[in-house]
Amino acid sequence: MRVFVVDDHAVVRSGVRAELDGTAEVVGEAADVTGAVDGIRRLRPEVVLLDVHLPGGGGRAVLAAVAAELPQTRFLALSVSDAAEDVIAVIRGGARGYVTKAISGPDLCEAVRRVHAGDAYFSPRLAGFVLDAFRGAAAGELGLDPELDQLTRRERDVLRLVAAGFTYKEVGAKLSISARTVETHAASVLRKLQLSNRQELTRWASRHWP
């Protein structure tokens, strides 16, 4: 796996490099939006670890610049940020997952593998944000179609267990479904999130997380 790391802190970049050692090859690094866009265009990595907060416009700006032209490249958001607005924005910009920088080495490797395979990776925190976004009362504000865009009961169960810290495999075992089916549910939640009305969602997020 060829991975590109975008973070404005050298400490974080070298930490990630060390943690991915053996799982993936870090082919390049960047500390800001311009460097990231150039590097990603030049090196065409398979996975980009993308900091949400970056000088020059944030992870969102990187996604806006390169996500459409490089459909083979997958993005995994990596941040200390707790602000739902920022996290939801990079997911909707095309990132296939979000992990906090407190994530353990093995979990990070797992997340990179998953995103590389084209799947979605929900960290507990992201699962919580998404559950909140699709809650009954919020769904109306979001401009979600109550029939089409609601989470199914199964998707909700999956997200709850992910939010409680279970791995996809454990979630599958607890719900008596295969890990692959858990994947399918996660992917469909990601799709619903990316398709719903952008402005409504941003407005909702900024109201709930000042």
Partner 1 sequence: MDVRMRWHLAMAAAGLALVGWLVWAVGHTEPPPWPVLLADLIAVIGLAIVPWLVIVGRQLTRVREGERLMSRVVVTVAIFAVAGPVLGMLALRMFDQDDSTIALAVAMMSMAAAGIIALVGGVLVPGLLLLVRTLARERSARVRAEERAEVAAHLHDSVLQALTLIQKRADDSRSVRQLARSTERELRVWLYGAGPSEAGDDLAAAVRAVCEETEDRFDVAVELVAVGTCPLDEPALAVVGAVREALTNAGKHAGVRQVSAFVEASDGELLALVRDRGRGFDPGLVPADRRGIADSIEARIRQHGGTAQVRSSVGAGVEVELRVAR
By CB under 8 A, is residue 161 in contact with partner 1?
yes
Q: What DSSP letter does each residue of 163-178 carry, written as one string?
A: HTT--HHHHHHHHTS-
Question: What is each CA distance from 132 to 84, 127, 205, 208, in whole angstroms?
Answer: 10, 9, 10, 10
Among the listed residues 102, 146, 147, 153, the single contact to partner 1 using CB under 8 A: 102
Q: In whole angstroms, what is the distance from residue 130 CA to residue 189 CA?
A: 8
Among the listed residues 22, 136, 147, 176, the single contact to partner 1 using CB under 8 A: 136
By CB under 8 A, is residue 209 in contact with partner 1?
yes
Q: Which stretch binds partner 1 (CB under 8 A): 42-50, 54-62, 120-128, 187-195?
A: 120-128
Q: How far is the CB of 170 from partner 1 (least distance, A)?
A: 9
Q: In whole angstroms, what is the distance from residue 25 CA to residue 4 CA?
A: 9
Among the listed residues 32, 38, 46, 132, the single contact to partner 1 using CB under 8 A: 132
Q: How far is the CB of 131 from partner 1 (least distance, A)?
A: 5
φ, ψ dihedrals at 150, nearest 5° = -65, 150
Q: How far is the CB of 199 from partner 1 (least distance, A)?
A: 20
Strands (E), 31-90: 47-51, 74-79
Three-state DSSP class for residue 98: strand
Q: In whole angstroms, what is the distance from residue 135 CA to residue 132 CA?
A: 5
By CB under 8 A, is residue 164 in contact with partner 1?
yes
By CB under 8 A, is residue 124 in contact with partner 1?
yes
Complex with partner 1: residue 124 or 143, whichever CB lies closer: 124
Q: Which residues contribute to the site for partner 1 (CB under 8 A)?
A: 81-83, 102, 124-125, 127-128, 131-132, 135-136, 160-161, 163-166, 208-210
